[in-house]
Each structure stands twice: as C-alpha cells, then as structure tokens.
Amino acid sequence: MGRKRRDFWWSVTLLAFLTVLLFLVYPLATVLVTSFTGEEKRFVLAENYHRFFTHRYYYSSVVNSLTLSALATLGALLVGTTLAFAVARYPLPGKTFLRTAANLALLSPPFIGAYSWVVLFGRMGLANRALSAFGWSLPTIYGWRGILLVFVVQYFPFVFLLVSAALRSVDQSVEDAALSLGSPPRRTFRTAILPVIAPSLTAGALLVFMATMADFGTPM
C-alpha cells in the first residue's frame, strides 16, 4: 500500500514537472533563442538587443509601459488599501456586495472591462450622450490618463482582497492597547498594523504591476 501511494505521488510530481517544462520553460526558452536569431534564422548574438535599446521607437514603449504600470500600481494600492480599511473598520452598508464585486472584477477579461468604459465614457458613450442634453461633456477616456484609470479600477481588487484578509488577522486587542496607552493613530498604524499587512501590500503590488505590464487589451 505504501509503495503504491509513493508511486502515485511520484507520477503526480512527474506530470507537474512535465507540464511546467512544456507550457512555461519551453515557450520562454524558444523566445530567448529567437531573440538571438536574425534574418534567415542566422545567429546574431546581441544585434537585436542593440537595435532595441538604441531605437527610440522600441525602447520608448518599454519606458511607457513601466511608467504606466508603476502609476497604476500606486493607484491600486491607494484605492484598494483605503477601501479595505473602510470595510474592516467601519460599519459600512453593502460590504458583502463590495467583496462580491471585487471578485467579479477579477474574473472579467481586461478587454471586456476596457470596452465597457468606452461604451460608457467614450466620445459617443452613454454618459456623454446623456450629458450632452445639458450642454456638458466628460473628459476623454482615451489616452494614457484613461488607460491609467481603467487599470486602477480593473486591478485594485487584488490589493483590496489581500489587505482585507490581512486586516482580519490583526489582533484587535493590540491595536486597542496601543490607543489606550496614548499612542497616536499614525504610530499605531505604523507599529501594530503595517507589519502585519506589509506582505499583503507587497503581494498586491506585484500582482497589479505584472498584470498591467501584460495587459495589452486595455490600451488597444
């Protein structure tokens, strides 16, 4: 019986290892090898990299992507952490709805979310058409500001859900004791709460940054 169980887990481990090799290592290795290949599939060493980093057309796209992802990460941290504290510390109505909406936002494909914003706030969107009857109009949703807004709204649930879970693990008695001893709220947050939620903030920031860097549907 023990040998059969051991053989079963060896098979599971082997299958997982082969899956990682096939769907992760092999594609990445193929991309790496191709990056050193020029026309007619000849080996060119670093020629492609030199062209990439010396032509503004190429490297500016990387700079723009990094800048936009960094700003979106900061925005998602601000919105997600603020909402998590509000839900955890105050008796707000609709807490269950907010958590459910956050989960649903993560299930929605990025392109669908971006298209929804265009339908609502585009030049001929529902909101602009409704406001045009009063002679009003909204700022354009197109451009980097619109992309940043959609990124923040699309991905702040990562931070919200992670920080909410971390706040539920904070020992309330420690926070109450610090406040009762005269510790200012900012110091209490820095010494009693921040160390607990810091891993969740880091994880949320990494998830948002990677997701926005890989999201080409929203800018399109």
Domains and CATH numbers, the chain: 1-54 (no CATH), 62-214 (1.10.3720.10)
Stated length of the chain: 220
Q: Read off the pTM.
A: 0.77
Q: Can you say whether residue 38 is alpha, beta or left, with left for phi > 0 and alpha for psi between -120 and 50 degrees?
A: beta
What tens-digit pLDDT sequence spans the chain (220 residues)? Answer: 556 666 778 888 899 999 999 999 999 999 888 888 877 777 777 788 888 888 888 888 888 889 999 999 999 999 999 999 888 888 878 778 888 888 777 777 777 777 777 787 777 778 777 877 777 777 777 888 888 988 898 899 999 999 998 888 877 777 777 777 777 778 877 877 888 889 999 999 999 999 998 877 777 6
- pLDDT for 123: 75
Amino acid at 144: W
Q: Using CA of residue 7, residue 8, residue 9, residue 11, what is the dihedral sign?
A: positive
- pLDDT for 25: 93
Q: How far is 27 from 152, CA to CA, in rounded Å? A: 30
Q: How far is 150 from 215, CA to CA, in rounded Å? A: 11
- pLDDT for 4: 63
- pLDDT for 118: 79
